[in-house]
């Protein structure tokens, strides 16, 4: 009797600790939806706010190019470098594996040598703009947890916009503008992350920091700074996530700012490296991207601690009697109170806001004479309750009544499990909420 119980508790203690230790302490909360604990009533579940682990989200996206035939190589083409129009050894041929540059190469393993990249056709139709949209779709709401980083193999574009959608691509909002000259390109004052404060966090800026490809030849990345924005609330090293979570909980706009279903990179003008475009050799101008990083987690409204990818689709594994791709509603027959997202507060366990069974609805399936029998000689009354013999209690008469009495079932009593005092203390020490606390304190 004591042993299995003890092992269960120990197992749940281990689960809590292991789950907490994978990732930085800053992200360590909210990783379990429920845990088992011990009270006077026996084992019970504690429900907590929970969210899936953050992950590399590029594994789960669908990429679409517009125009669709903008990838190089059909027909084959030879490119020259931006720096030297006589150095022309970049060949693209869609029909040859080694010389093809399809969009998948923006999401393959980093560090492959030579670098793998997607490449566009060159700017053959100059002065008509060379405009390309790269759209990344998840068909699922995602919460960004780290910077979006786009690594160019070509020079970085002179004009570009990063856009997001929150409604599966029906409407789009800009995230950030990028240009060598913000005023000229977008009639916006150039700004950097340093200009952003807690109060202007939702402002959309134009930055010139990531566009001077020619001068800073080794700078190949274009970034959208998520961590710097988090840091405005959580401190430079994100050590005070409680503050950020508190803000996210109370400010819907802020939460939505980091939430997306799709991203779109609008490439508007390639690197030219000079004020004048060399019209005699347009093979110098094109876009090439070797890598795109998008780190985030499935949005599950704090009702799931995992998100599965099945049949090319991400879905939250909803707990707390919720359902839907984002756990956005109560399950059937669990609508006794209105659905509500879980809450990060109070830190660190949050509030689960579980959906409750409709007691007023159809009568529930407590007992029958076939499968769900009343135990210890109890009698099923109208399928709704067990009438228990005097010595037993509980929904199915499964509990000896003496458990509720002072002194429990110990003493002269025959056959009942007796808890030895030291084991009992150990059990209580390891039990329930206290158990989780110990664990968190150890990890942090
Ligand atoms: C892409 O397709 C459009 C219309 O189908 C065509 O006008 C254009 O020339 C094509 N571009 C390339 C680079 O093949
Ligand atoms: C122009 O580009 C072609 C490749 O399209 C290259 O072979 C040639 O050397 C270049 N010429 C000049 C003058 O830059
Ligand atoms: C790219 O997307 C924008 C809206 O986000 C749209 O206006 C534009 O027509 C699209 N296509 C190209 C080639 O830019
Ligand atoms: C997106 O997901 C929904 C289910 O949530 C599914 O019915 C639909 O077919 C998916 N759309 C695409 C384009 O995969
Ligand atoms: C569903 O809700 C009931 C209370 O209405 C609760 O006892 C049960 O544990 C919940 N189930 C889950 C999986 O959260
Ligand atoms: Ca690559």
Find the CATH number of the domain harbouring 222.
2.60.120.260
Residue 351 within a domain: no
Give me the tens of pLDDT residue by residue for the chain, a chain 444 residues long.
333 333 333 333 333 333 333 334 444 578 899 998 888 878 888 999 999 999 999 999 999 999 999 999 999 999 999 888 899 999 999 999 999 999 999 999 877 788 999 999 999 999 999 999 999 999 999 999 999 999 999 999 999 999 999 999 999 999 999 999 999 999 999 999 999 999 999 999 999 999 875 555 668 999 999 999 999 999 999 999 889 999 999 899 999 999 999 999 999 999 998 778 999 999 999 999 999 999 999 999 999 999 999 999 999 999 999 999 999 999 988 887 789 999 998 888 899 999 988 765 444 586 665 556 788 888 877 666 788 888 888 888 888 887 766 666 654 443 333 333 333 333 333 333 333 333 333 332
> How many domains is the chain built from?
2
How many Cβ atoms sit within 10 Å of the Cβ of residue 70? Answer: 20
Q: What's the CA gap between 293 and 190, in Å, rounded?
A: 24
Range of the structural domain that residue 207 is part of:
55-298
Return the best residue to mutate from 77, 281, 286 for the ligand 2 pocket (most ligand atoms within 8 A of CB): 281
User: Residue 39: which H helix or E strand, with range?
Assistant: strand 34-39
Of 271, 298, 325, the residue that ends a domain is 298
If asked whether residues 277 and 371 sit together in one domain, one would say no
Q: What is the DSSP letter of 404?
A: G
Q: Is 171 left (phi over 0), alpha (psi -120 to 50) or beta?
A: beta
Q: Phi-psi region for residue 59, left (φ > 0), alpha (ψ -120 to 50) or beta? A: alpha
The CATH number of residue 372's host domain is 2.10.25.10
DSSP H or E stretch at residue 395: none
Q: Are 94 and 121 in contact (CB under 8 A)?
A: no
> How many whole angstroms separate alpha carbon 59 and alpha carbon 156?
24
On whether both 169 and 269 belong to a single domain, the answer is yes
Boundary of a domain, candidates 298, 321, 356: 298
C-alpha torsion 210→166→202→204, nearest 10: 40
Cβ of 163 less than 6 Å from ligand 3:
yes
* H-helix segments, 384-431: 421-430
The response to whether residue 67 sits with its C-beta less than 6 Å from ligand 1 reads yes
Domain-embedded: residue 116: yes
- Those residues whose beta carbon sits under 5 angstroms from the ion ligand 6 are 105, 108, 116, 290-291
What letter does residue 53 receive in the DSSP assignment?
A: P
**Atom number in ligand 5 closest to CA 320:** 14
**255 closest CA partner among 297, 293, 294, 223:** 297
Q: How remote is the C-alpha of 226 from its chain's centroid?
A: 13
């Amino acid at each position: 009797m004591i042993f299995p119980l003890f092992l269960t508790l120990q197992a749940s203690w281990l689960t809590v600790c292991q789950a907490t230790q994978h990732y930085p302490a800053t992200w360590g909360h909210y990783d379990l939806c429920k845990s088992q604990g011990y009270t006077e009533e026996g084992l019970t579940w504690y429900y907590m706010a929970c969210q899936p682990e953050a992950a590399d989200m590029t594994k789960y996206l669908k990429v679409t190019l517009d125009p669709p035939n903008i990838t190089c190589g059909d027909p084959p083409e030879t490119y020259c470098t931006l720096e030297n129009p006589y150095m022309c050894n970049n060949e693209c041929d869609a029909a040859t594996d080694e010389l093809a540059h399809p969009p998948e190469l923006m999401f393959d393993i980093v560090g492959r040598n030579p670098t793998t990249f997607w490449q566009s056709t060159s700017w053959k139709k100059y002065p008509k703009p060379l405009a390309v949209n790269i759209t990344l779709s998840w068909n699922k709401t995602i919460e960004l947890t780290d910077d979006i980083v786009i690594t160019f193999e070509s020079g970085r574009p002179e004009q570009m916009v990063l856009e997001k959608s929150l409604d599966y691509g029906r409407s789009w909002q800009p995230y950030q503008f990028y240009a060598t000259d913000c005023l000229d390109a977008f009639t916006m004052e150039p700004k950097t992350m340093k200009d952003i404060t807690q109060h202007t966090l939702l402002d959309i800026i134009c930055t010139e920091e990531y566009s001077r490809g020619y001068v800073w030849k080794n700078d190949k990345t274009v970034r959208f700074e998520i961590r710097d924005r988090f840091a405005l609330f959580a401190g430079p090293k994100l050590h005070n996530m409680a503050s950020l979570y508190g803000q996210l909980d109370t400010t819907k706009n802020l939460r939505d700012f980091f939430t997306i279903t799709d991203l779109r990179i609008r490439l508007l003008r390639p690197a030219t490296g000079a004020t004048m475009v060399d019209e005699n050799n347009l093979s110098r101008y094109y876009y090439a991207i070797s890598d795109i990083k998008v780190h985030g987690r499935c949005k599950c409204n704090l009702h799931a601690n995992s998100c599965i990818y099945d049949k090319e689709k991400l879905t939250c594994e909803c707990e707390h009697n919720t359902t839907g791709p984002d756990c956005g509603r109560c399950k059937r027959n669990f609508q006794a109170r209105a659905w509500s997202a879980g809450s990060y507060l109070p830190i660190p366990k949050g509030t689960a806001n579980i959906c409750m069974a409709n007691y007023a609805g159809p009568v529930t399936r407590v007992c029958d004479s076939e499968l769900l029998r009343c135990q210890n000689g109890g009698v099923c009354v109208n399928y709704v309750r067990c009438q228990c013999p005097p010595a037993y209690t509980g929904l199915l008469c499964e509990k000896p009544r003496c458990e509720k009495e002072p002194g429990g079932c110990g003493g002269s009593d025959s056959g009942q499990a007796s808890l030895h005092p030291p084991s009992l203390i150990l059990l209580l020490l390891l039990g329930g909420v206290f158990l989780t606390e110990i664990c968190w304190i150890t990890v942090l």
